[in-house]
């Protein structure tokens, strides 16, 4: 039985991960982690997740002897600390944290030489299929279309654009041979002038309890193609993370993505 620790176990994603692990018969929850000032410390993680008590109390310290894989959907600062811990103790990781930035992503790449990590800004099977569709669409349409990425999330999300939107933009930019850091346009206001076809636009919506919606628009004169993914339940991401845990448990050291997990490349 593979033992799983969950960082941020009392949060929105953490509670869904606890439920997803409860559904699994080949994985078991071994630790439920929260920050040291969390009011959830000492509470049963199953009760917090709305299921039966599981006897795994929320605590604030990782125990390297207690788990095999850590699932982390927290914050870049916390994730960096957890990466250091897992590398030092030869423990594997499944990371869904967004807004990591170039420095932490570089650290993850280096850490792949010392442990096995699945890192993906979105664990949804559907989103990762969309990434494949985006690559195909961009390669066929080339520079003949205007490209816009529109994303919407709940009011509590703190990073924008979403990690998934940025990943979609990166896949398209790589396919077209563009540098996303130079061609991305984040929102528009005022007298912007005519649109530059070589740019990739990003628009962000934050409202209500939207779980996650992403649309990529490929617009030409006379026709357009829209590739859309809408998530209505966070269990979509939790079950994807569980699938990643099953896969990474059998893998050697390396930095992987959900496209590796789903055998899309």
Residue 209 CB coordination number (10 Å): 9
* pLDDT mean across residues, the chain: 95
* Domains of the chain with bracketed CATH: 2-119+234-261 (3.40.50.720), 125-231 (3.30.360.10)
d(CA 39, CA 6): 17
The dihedral over CA atoms of 111, 117, 123, 126, expressed in degrees to the nearest 10, equals 110
d(CA 264, CA 4): 25
Cβ pair 48, 9 in contact under 8 A: yes
Cβ pair 247, 261 in contact under 8 A: yes
d(CA 199, CA 76): 28
Mean pLDDT, range 105-113, rounded to an integer: 94
* Backbone φ/ψ region at 142: left (φ over 0), alpha (ψ -120 to 50), beta: left
pLDDT digits (tens, 9 = 90+) for 163-220: 899 999 999 999 999 999 999 999 999 999 999 999 999 999 999 999 999 999 999 9
Band of residue 127 on the pLDDT scale cut at 50, 70, 90: very high
As annotated, the active-site residues are: 153, 157
């Amino acid at each position: 039985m593979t033992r799983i620790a969950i960082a941020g176990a009392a949060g929105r994603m953490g509670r869904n991960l606890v439920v997803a692990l409860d559904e699994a018969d080949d994985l078991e929850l071994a630790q439920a982690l929260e920050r040291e000032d969390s009011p959830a410390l000492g509470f049963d993680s199953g009760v917090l997740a709305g299921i039966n008590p599981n006897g795994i109390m929320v605590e604030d310290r990782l125990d390297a002897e207690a788990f095999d894989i850590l699932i982390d959907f927290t914050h870049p600062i916390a994730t960096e600390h957890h990466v250091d811990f897992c590398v030092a103790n030869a423990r594997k990781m499944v990371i869904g944290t967004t807004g990591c930035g170039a420095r932490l992503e570089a650290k993850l790449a280096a850490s792949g030489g010392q442990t096995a990590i699945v890192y993906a800004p979105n664990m949804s099977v559907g989103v990762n299929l969309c990434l494949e569709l985006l690559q195909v669409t961009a390669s066929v349409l080339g520079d003949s279309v205007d490209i816009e990425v529109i994303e919407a999330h709940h009011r509590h999300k703190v990073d924008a654009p979403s990690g998934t939107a940025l990943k979609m933009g990166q896949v398209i930019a790589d396919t077209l041979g563009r540098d996303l850091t130079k061609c991305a346009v984040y929102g528009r206001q005022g007298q912007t002038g005519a649109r530059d076809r070589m740019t990739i636009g990003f628009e962000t919506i934050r409202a209500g309890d939207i779980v996650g919606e992403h649309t990529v628009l490929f617009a030409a004169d006379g026709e357009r193609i829209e590739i859309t993914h809408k998530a209505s339940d966070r269990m979509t991401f939790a079950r994807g993370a569980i699938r990643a845990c099953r896969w990474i448990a059998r893998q050697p050291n390396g930095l992987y993505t959900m496209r590796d997990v789903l055998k899309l490349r």
